[in-house]
Amino acid sequence: MNTHVNPPARIGEPLSRVDGRLKVTGHARYAAEHPVADLLYGWVVSSSIAKGRITAIHEDAARAVAGVVEIITHKNRPDLAKADSAYQEQVAPPGKPFRALYDDEVQYSLQPVALVVAQDLETARYAASLIKVDYEAAKHNTDFRIAQGERFMPRRKRAAYQPPKNRGDVDTAFAEAAHQIAGTYHLATHVHNPMEMHATTVVWEGDERITVYDKTQGSQNTQTYLANVFGFKKENIRVLNPFVGGAFGSGLRPQYQAYLATMAAKMLERSVRLVMTRPQMFSHVHRPEALQAVSLATDSQGHLTGMRTEATTATSRFENYMETVVNWGLMAYACPNAEADYTIAPVDSYTPGDMRAPGAATGMTLFEIAMDEMAYEANVDPLEFRLINYSEKDAMHDTPYTSKALKEAYAEGAAKFGWDSRSMAPRSMRDGSELVGWGVATGMWDAMFQKTSARARLSANGDLLLETAASDIGTGTYTILAQIASDTLGIPVEQISVKIGDSDLPMSPIEGGSWTAASAGAAVEATCQSLGKKLFEAAQKVKNSPLADAKIDDVRFDYGRLLSKTDPDKSVSYGEAMAAAGEVSIEAEETVSSGISGMISQMRKSRNTHSAVFAEVKVDEELGVVRVTRVVCAVAAGRIINPKTARSQILGGVVMGIGMGLHEETFVDHRLGRIMNHDLAEYHVPANADIHDIEVIFVDEPDPEVTPMGVKGVGEIGIVGTAAAVANAIFHATGKRLRDLPITIDKIL
Q: Is 287 helix (H, G, I), strand (E, B) or coil?
A: strand
Out of 302, 512, 659, 710, name the contact with ligand MOS by CB under 6 A. 512
Residue 472 beta carbon to ligand MOS: minimum distance, rounded to whole angstroms: 12
Cβ distance to ligand MOS smaller for residue 98 or 248:
248
Q: What DSSP state is assigned to residue 319?
A: B
How many Å separate Cα 233 from the centre of its chain?
30
Q: Is there a cis peptide before residue 742, judged by omega within 30 degrees of 0? A: yes
Provide the 3-class DSSP secondary structure of residue 738: coil
Least separation in angstroms between CB 652 and ligand MOS: 12
623 C-beta neighbours (distance < 10 Å), count = 12
Residue type, 694: I
Q: CB of 230: closest distance to ligand MOS in angstroms?
A: 25
Nearest distance from C-beta of residue 358 to ligand MOS, angstroms: 5
Nearer Cβ to ligand MOS, position 250 or 343? Answer: 250
Q: State the minimum distance, in angstroms, from the CB of residue 639 to ligand MOS.
A: 20
Element containing residue 154 per DSSP (H, E): none
**Residue 298-327 contact track with ligand MOS, rule CB under 6 A, x = bound:** ------------------------------
Cα distance between the two ends of the chain: 67
Residues 548-567 that bind ligand MOS (CB under 6 A): none
Going from the C-alpha of 220 to that of each of 199, 238, 268, 281, 393, the distances in angstroms are 17, 8, 24, 23, 37
Q: What kind and span of H or E run contains 585? A: strand 585-592
Contact assessment for residue 580 and residue 554, using Cβ atoms and an 8 Å cutoff: no
Please say which residue, 198 or 356, places its beta carbon nearer to ligand MOS: 356
| Strand stretches in 207-355, DSSP E | 209-214, 237-240, 271-275, 286-287, 290-298, 304-315, 338-346
The one segment of 31-39, 227-235, 255-263, 349-357 that binds ligand MOS by CB under 6 A:
349-357
SS3 449: coil
Residue nearest to ligand MOS (CB): 249
Nearer to ligand MOS, 43 or 248 (CB): 248
Query: Which residues touch 416 (CB under 8 Å, ≥6 apart)?
Result: 614, 632, 634, 695, 697
**What are the backbone angles phi and psi of residue 418, rounded to the nearest 5°?**
85, 30
By C-beta, is 217 or 262 nearer to ligand MOS? Answer: 217
* C-alpha separations of 156 from 153, 285, 324, 347 in Å: 9, 21, 15, 19
Helix runs in 47-98, H state only: 60-63
491-526: string of b/e by CB count within 10 Å (b at 16+)?
Answer: bbbebbebbbbbbebbebbbbbbbbbbbbbbbbbbb
CB-nearer residue toward ligand MOS: 272 or 480: 480
Which residues are catalytic, by number? Answer: 716
In the complex, the smallest distance separating the C-beta of residue 222 from ligand MOS, rounded to whole angstroms, is: 15
Closest CA relative to residue 44, chosen from 123, 124, 163: 124
CA–chain centroid gap for 257, Å, is: 20
Q: How far is the CB of 361 from ligand MOS (least distance, A)?
A: 9
Residues from 127 through 186 that contact ligand MOS (CB under 6 A): none
Residue numbers 584-623 binding ligand MOS by CB under 6 A: none
We find the least distance from the C-beta atom of residue 354 to ligand MOS, in angstroms, to be 4
The distance of closest approach from Cβ of residue 287 to ligand MOS in the complex, given in angstroms and rounded to an integer, is 9
Residue 628 vs 635, nearer CB to ligand MOS: 635
Cα(527)–Cα(184) distance, rounded to whole angstroms? 50
Dihedral, 322, 327, 332, 337 alpha carbons, nearest 10: 170
Q: How many CB atoms lie within 10 A of CB 156?
A: 8
**Per CB under 6 A, 93 contacts ligand MOS:** no
Site for ligand MOS in 353-392 (CB under 6 A): 354-356, 358
Do 468 and 505 touch, CB atoms closer than 8 A? yes
Mask for 232-261, x = binds ligand MOS (CB under 6 A): ---------------xxx--x---------
Residue closer to ligand MOS by CB (options 476, 673) is 476
Shortest Å, Cβ 448 to ligand MOS: 9
Q: Which segment (68-76, 311-319, 348-356, 605-613) binds ligand MOS by CB under 6 A?
A: 348-356
Nearer residue to ligand MOS within complex by CB, 107 or 324: 324
Which range of residues in 170-178, 275-283, 351-359, 634-642 is near ligand MOS by CB under 6 A?
351-359
Query: According to CB under 6 A, which one of 288, 329, 439, 513 is a site residue for ligand MOS?
Result: 513
Helices (H) and strands (E) in the chain, counts: 19, 31
Residues contacting ligand MOS: total by CB under 6 A: 11
How far apart are alpha carbons 457 and 468 in whole angstroms? 12
Cα 58 to chain centroid distance, Å, stands at 41
Q: CA angle 682-685-688, nearest 5°?
A: 120
Segment near ligand MOS (CB under 6 A); pick from 352-360, 554-562, 596-604, 705-713:
352-360
Q: Residue 82: CB partners within 8 Å, gap ≥ 6? A: none
User: Whole-number minimum distance, CB 253 to ligand MOS, in Å?
Assistant: 10
Give the footprint of ligand MOS on residues 176-235 (CB under 6 A): 217
Q: 440 vs 473, which CB is nearer to ligand MOS?
A: 473
Whichever of 142 and 221 has its CB closer to ligand MOS, that residue is 221
Q: State the residues that interact with ligand MOS by CB under 6 A.
A: 217, 247-249, 252, 354-356, 358, 512-513
